[in-house]
Amino acid sequence: MSKFMDELRDKIRVKQYAYKTEKTYLDWVERFIRFHGLRHPNEMGKGEIEAFVTNLAKTGVSASTQNQALAAVLFMYRAMFEREFEGIEAVRAKKSTHVPTVLTVDEMKRVLCRLHGVYHMIGYMLYGSGMRLMECMRLRVKDVDLELRTITLRDTKSNRDRVTVLPNAVIEPLKLHLAKVKAQHEEDLSKGFGSVEMPGALGRKYPNAEYEWGWQYVFPASQYSRDPRSGVVRRHHLFETSVQKAVRKAAKEAGIVKPVGPHTFRHSFATHLLQGGTDIRKIQELLGHQDLKTTMVYTHVAGIGAGVKSPLDSMVISDPAGL
């Protein structure tokens, strides 16, 4: 099976998929093969795919996880055997609708002021622009416009570029941060390093661009690491897990019992804009949602507590403490 998986890995890399996607696809394909007793994939077909996907639903995985597994297996058949399967009939995992966790403005302030160092800047950027965590981690210097106060996001979940707002409050601190990052980059260059991973096929098209300042990450890692695919030693972007830990720690120190993570900042950004009167379609554009229904969930959060009066509050209670 190892030879087959190596060939599949090569097919994935030709498509220039992210390393995280590569690992995920390989994992699902291996699980598919093992589920069917190590049979060769080309000996199987639609029935075996449906059985595998149905079994995932029975084990209680989420709808998104089930879709991810199906996408990986279908990619394998297209890439390795030029086989297409339509109308996959399987028991599908139920889609769950969760109301997003949102912080009040006061809670947001309490968390932000307990973030330190580079995490303080990242927190301001996430809440101030509505970026997803990985969009922030992969942000390049050239895509931050300090004059126009905009951030251009190119490596997005929907694979479509979008522009969001760069908050005025971070302009000056961001200038200082970028000056430090640039000094670090120049030192890396003097040591024979200083390259950065290029998106897609741009590395081949522009062979020297990987050393240019504009292509560097806004939030680079503090240490060098070896690229698992190319073997090149260089700075990756800051690992997202370190941001997640810093945010959880700050929320705990702020005394907030809600489950808080970096994505909570994005939810709060959207909700606070909505409460402030920003048009829902503008918020959809800033968040990069393809479907307005996805953005509409914030109307439920913003509506409760803003103009909705509980019937209990209309009653005259002589001794509320006696409840």
CATH number for 19: 1.10.150.130
CA distance to 42, 106, 182, per residue, from 25 (Å): 17, 42, 36
Say yes or no: 191 and 55 in one domain: no
Say yes or no: 226 and 279 in one domain: yes
- Residues tagged active-site: 132, 157, 263, 266, 289, 298
> Token pair for residue 54?
């149905």
Over pLDDT 90: what percentage of the chain? 74
319 located within any domain: no
The residue length of the chain stands at 323
Say yes or no: 265 and 125 in one domain: yes
211 located within any domain: yes
Say yes or no: 7 and 121 in one domain: no
Number of domains in the chain: 2
Say yes or no: 284 and 154 in one domain: yes
Say yes or no: 161 and 16 in one domain: no
132 located within any domain: yes
Say yes or no: 151 and 230 in one domain: yes
Do residues 95 and 66 lie in contact, with contact meaning Cβ atoms separated by under 8 Å? no
115 located within any domain: yes
What does the pLDDT read at residue 305? 52
316 located within any domain: no
Say yes or no: 166 and 238 in one domain: yes
295 located within any domain: yes
Q: Tell me 182's DSSP state.
A: H
Say yes or no: 163 and 275 in one domain: yes
> What pLDDT, in 10s, does the model give residues 33-57?
999 999 999 999 999 999 999 999 9
Do residues 216 and 181 lie in contact, with contact meaning Cβ atoms separated by under 8 Å? yes
> Token pair for residue 240?
């997202």
Residue-range definition of the domain harbouring residue 22: 2-81
What does the pLDDT read at residue 237? 96
The residues that bridge with 220 in the sheet, in sequence order, are: 237
What does the pLDDT read at residue 49? 96
Do residues 9 and 75 lie in contact, with contact meaning Cβ atoms separated by under 8 Å? no
Say yes or no: 227 and 140 in one domain: yes
* H helix runs in the chain, sequence order: 2-14, 19-35, 46-58, 63-81, 105-112, 118-129, 133-137, 171-190, 202-205, 240-253, 262-275, 280-287, 292-303
> What pLDDT, in 10s, does the model give residues 125-182?
999 999 999 999 999 999 999 999 999 998 777 778 999 999 999 999 999 999 999 9
317 located within any domain: no
> Token pair for residue 144?
């931050």
pLDDT tens, N- to C-terminus, the chain (323 residues): 789 999 999 999 888 788 889 999 999 999 999 999 999 999 999 999 999 999 999 998 999 999 999 999 999 999 999 999 989 988 888 776 778 999 999 999 999 999 999 999 999 999 999 999 999 999 999 999 999 999 999 877 777 899 999 999 999 999 999 999 999 999 999 999 999 999 877 877 888 999 999 999 999 999 999 998 889 999 999 999 999 999 999 999 999 999 999 999 999 999 999 999 999 999 999 999 999 988 988 887 776 555 566 676 666 555 555 55
Say yes or no: 193 and 46 in one domain: no
What does the pLDDT read at residue 189? 97
What does the pLDDT read at residue 1? 78
Each as own residue / partner, the long-range contacts of residues 142-147 (CB below 8 Å, 24 or more positions apart, any chain) are 142/214, 142/215, 144/174, 144/178, 144/218, 146/171, 146/174, 146/175
Say yes or no: 153 and 256 in one domain: yes
| Nearest one of 206, 205, 213 to 189, comparing CA atoms | 213
CATH number of the domain enclosing 211: 1.10.443.10
Over pLDDT 70: what percentage of the chain? 93
312 located within any domain: no
Instruction: Spell out the residues 6+ positions from residue 173 whose beta carbon is closer than 8 angstroms to its own.
Output: 121, 124
> What does pTM read for this prediction?
0.83
